[in-house]
Each structure stands twice: as structure tokens, then as C-alpha cells.
Amino acid sequence: MASVALVVHNDRSSAANLARETARWLIEGGHAVRLLRPDAEVVGRNDLAVDPDELTNGCDVAVSLGGDGTMLRTVDLVAAHDIPVVGVNLGQLGYLTEVDPARLRDALTQFFAGDYQIEERMLLSVRVDAPSGGVDAAEAVALNEAVIEKTESGHTVRLDVTINDHFFTPYATDGVIVATPTGSTAYAFSARGPIVAPTHRALLLTPVSPHMLFDRTLVLEPTTELRITVAGHRPAALSVDGRMLGQLRRGDGIVATAAPHAARLVIFAPRDFHQILKSKFGLSDR
């Protein structure tokens, strides 16, 4: 029997209802179910509540019930422990989610039978160097991106970029995005970055509305170490996969590179990334 972690979108009643039904079905089948305490409260199953370290200990699979944001949260919770993730699409775009809610039980039955594949996605390792104390986190992991951007409307920030210990250039910009290939269809896409097939391994450095002639995305080797430092007097906000970590001030920065482990997404049929793009963007065949 398997141990299953359910990660639930806290603001969607459909996610809570599906989690409640799925937990009951799994337990009746002899499986163990666990939820983080805030999720368990929303679902109404406090008897299944665990702390974060207990969520991953001995866990066989994590099920994300929500949209792409819930998938990002789930990956952040379990990726370091090599736990596979089943994504259930209760959101809108659903680039990351694999399963429709109506077929979740069938999908889990397939998983328990070993009838699935694992698609690995590169993760971004973000090391924070903030002597000012504006960011508490020392390290973070992202499936999509890390973003350093201005905090005041109407003003740019100055960010110095170093590549593999060699100074590259200062950016006067609204911000910069360091994205993975998976994140190329997220914020980096809206900043006119390239679309990269998500199973590639690369770092994408994309400036946001730069006030300079050089405004192109750099696509770099995954082993590249990118250091981004706040060089001007204006602070910059640091977020990782949409989680706001705090403010960076002059001399503060991050070092970003490929993480040593990958996100392990469960798929039940080969994913055609080009067809997904066509569907999401409404592209015609002719």
C-alpha cells in the first residue's frame, strides 16, 4: 500500500471537495494519506494533518490539487526528496498539471499499478546573499523562476550581472528574471523571452523593460552561475516562483544555477509540448 500526500489549493472549494473524496477513497483502499495542517483544516480532515517534515518522510507520491501555482508549491515541498508529483488541473492554464479531476482515481490506480512515466524538469537553485537582512531565506528552489524587480512605480533599479565570476553588464531595468525552461512560458514569456521546451536544461536571463539597447534574453548552460547584485540606491524585491522573500538593498544579491535535483512529474502518456502550446494559445492548424 502507498503513502500519498495531498497538497490542496486553499481558496478553491472544488480542490477541498476533491481532496476530501480522494482521501476517503484512498483510505478505503488501504493507502495512507497525509496533508499539511493548513490543507487538512480546509479539507476538514484534521486527523490526517502532519508537519512539513512528516509530509515527505516515506511518501510515495504527492498529488497537487489546484492549478499551476499549487504545482509549484507541491514541487517546492517534495522535489528534494525525489517524490513524484501527480498534477490535477483545477485551475485555468494548466501547463504543469496532467490530470483532469474526473479521472483522478483512474490516474492513481494506474500509478499504483506502475503504469506511468516520469518527466524530469530542471529546477533552479537560488542562494541568497543579503547582508542587509532584508531577506531571511538563505536558499530557495524554483521550478519556474526567480525575479528581482523594482519596488517603486516610475523608477528603475540597477542590477549588476556576473556570469561564472566574470562581470557581464549592469542593467537599468524594471527587473530581471532567471527562469528555467519550464518557466519560459510563465513571467519570462510576458517579458518577451523565448519559449523553450520544458525538458531542456538551461538558464534564461530575461530583463524586464530594460532602459538600455541590450534587451535580449540570454540562454545559458545549466551549470552557469549567475550572480545578480543590487548596485544602485533603490531596493529590489526578490520573489521565487511567486513567493515574495523580501527586499534586497545595495550590495545584496543572489547566485542562481541549476539545482542538483529535478522535479519529477508523473505523466500517463507522452506529452506533446507543441500541441499544448497550440491549445493554450488557440493557434490554428492553417
- Cell numbers for 228, please give them: 545578480
Of 47, 51, 53, 68, which is the active-site residue?
Answer: 68
CA-wise closest residue to 10 among 34, 59, 43, 35: 43
Q: Is 68 designated active site?
A: yes
Q: Which residue has the cell 527562469?
A: 179
Pairing state of beta strands 49-50 and 32-36? parallel
251, amino acid identity: G
CA-wise closest residue to 235 among 137, 161, 131, 148: 148
Listed in sequence order, the residues at least 6 apart from 44 whose beta carbon sits closer than 8 Å to its beta carbon are 16, 20
Rounded CA separation 174/110 (Å): 46
Contact 97, 71 (CB under 8 A): yes
Rounded CA separation 222/87 (Å): 25
Give CA torsion, residues 207, 225, 255, 171, to 10 deg: -30
Rounded CA separation 226/178 (Å): 9
Give the catalytic positions in this structure: 68
